[in-house]
Structure 1
Amino acid sequence: MHYKKLFSKHLLLRKFHKGDIDFIFKHFSDANVTRFLYDQEPLKSIEEASKLLSWVMDFDSQDHIRWCITLKDIPIGTCGFHLYDAEMKSAEIGYDLAYQHWNKGYMTEALNVVLHHAKQNLQLHTVNACVATDNTFSQKLLQKLKFVLVKTDPNKHLYRGKYYPHHIYSLVLK
């Protein structure tokens, strides 16, 4: 996937680098950030953070791309695409933000520039999002961005012995 630095009014979305290891560990071990991430346990060690950082730093990947969302040069979250399907020109979007930055419009701002990039530079036609049914903040964000609820999967993720239902949203980029 084609990577480039992205800018918005308040944010810089950039590549991750090795110096982001402490942010990755702190961010993905925070119970607020990981509350609805039913496909990954909260990080418990720097070694786990290092594996995740290696994945987000795979800039030559053909199936995913992830940006570090920064505010005044301080990392505050991540966003990007995974499950890229070149034939269908589609991908799934994922995002997370440090708790102290919730409800300030930063994720809306970040996703707007990422979706514009997806249309203009990645030539994506469809962007999907998978959101836990009890994650109402994320659902409102997607609806604000004109994503449409297409279905609910009652058994999307098996996490700690329990299945968690998820809404599947979709956005056709025009």
Structure 2
Amino acid sequence: MMLETERLILRPLTLADAETAFYGWTGDEEVAKYVSWLPHRTIDDTMAWLKEIEWKHEDDARVPRDNYIWGFVLKETGELFGSGGLIWEEDYQLYQVGYNIKKSHWNRGYTTEAMKAILDFAATDLGIRKVAGGHAKENLASAKVLEKLGFTYDRDDVTAHVDGVRFFESREYFLNLDA
């Protein structure tokens, strides 16, 4: 399932994207600084992640699954520079938005543009009415993305990294979608 915006094409990621993703954002410690996953140490880590999400892009996007992840591609150049989508959050019983892009593409509005398309897909194609979002308190850029998308602040929280050892202070938001 591909999505399109004015400047971007959102497409499923494949194993062929491993090197681009690893050197672009999944292996970048600065990109991963404010997220719950740990930076990938090797391309094999990125390949394992891609295998995990690859099957989730079957022909019928309406089949419920726990993640809907797209690669973000610039229309003008064809460059893959990030990824994002909807991740099932068991604690909330809702999908949560998530996104990561290469540092060289920060502060250009690409993430907001991509996520608007994904939220439209969530409401229109999947019938989702409410989604969650969150960011590390220090990650002001992510706060701006959520605010531009119309998310409403709910509360402060503490988020665990996937290793279960490290934690960071976070801010949690919700967005009601109108289909």
**Could you state the TM-score of these two structures normalised by the residue count of structure 2?**
0.86
Work out the CA distance in 1 between the residues paired with 2:120 and 2:137. Answer: 26
**Poorly superposed stretches of 4+, deviation over 2 Å:** 158-163
Distance 2:68 2:166 in 1: 29
Provide TM-score, normalisation by structure 1: 0.88
- Local SS of the residue matching 1:83: strand
Q: Give ranges in structure 1 of 5+ residues lacking alignment.
A: none
Distance in structure 2 (CA, Å) of the matches to 1:77 and 1:126: 24
AA aligned to 1:9 is E
Aligned identity (percent) is 25
Residues 116, 160 of structure 1: alpha-carbon distance in 2 compared, 3 angstrom cutoff: closer
**Aligned equivalent of 1:108, options 108, 112, 132:** 112
Matched-pair contact (CA < 8 Å) for 1:24–1:53: no
Residue equivalent to 1:79: 84
Compared with structure 1, are the counterparts of its residues 108 and 122 closer, same or farther at alpha carbon in structure 2 (3 Å cutoff)? same
Counterpart-to-counterpart distance in 2, 1:84 and 1:41? 18
Q: Is the 2:10–2:70 contact (alpha carbons within 8 Å) kept by the matching residues of 1?
A: yes
Contact 1:130/1:168 (8 A) holds in 2: yes
Instruction: Write the mapping of 1:120-135 to structure 2, written as runs, cut at 5 A.
Output: 120-135=124-139
* SS of 1:137 mapped into structure 2: helix
Q: CA deviation at 1:161?
A: 4.3
Offset at residue 160 of structure 1 (A):
8.1
Query: Would you say how many aligned residue pairs link Structure 1 and Structure 2?
Result: 166
Segments of structure 2 that go 5 or more residues without pairing to the other structure are 59-63
CA distance, structure 2, for counterparts of residue 75 and residue 32 of structure 1: 18
Asked if residue 28 in structure 1 is aligned to residue 31 in structure 2, the reply is no
Matched, 1:136 2:140: yes
State the distance in 2 between where 1:43 and 1:123 align: 33
Letter in 1 for 2:115: L
Q: Structure 1 residue 162: deviation in Å?
A: 4.1
Q: Indicate whether 1:70 and 2:73 are aligned.
A: yes
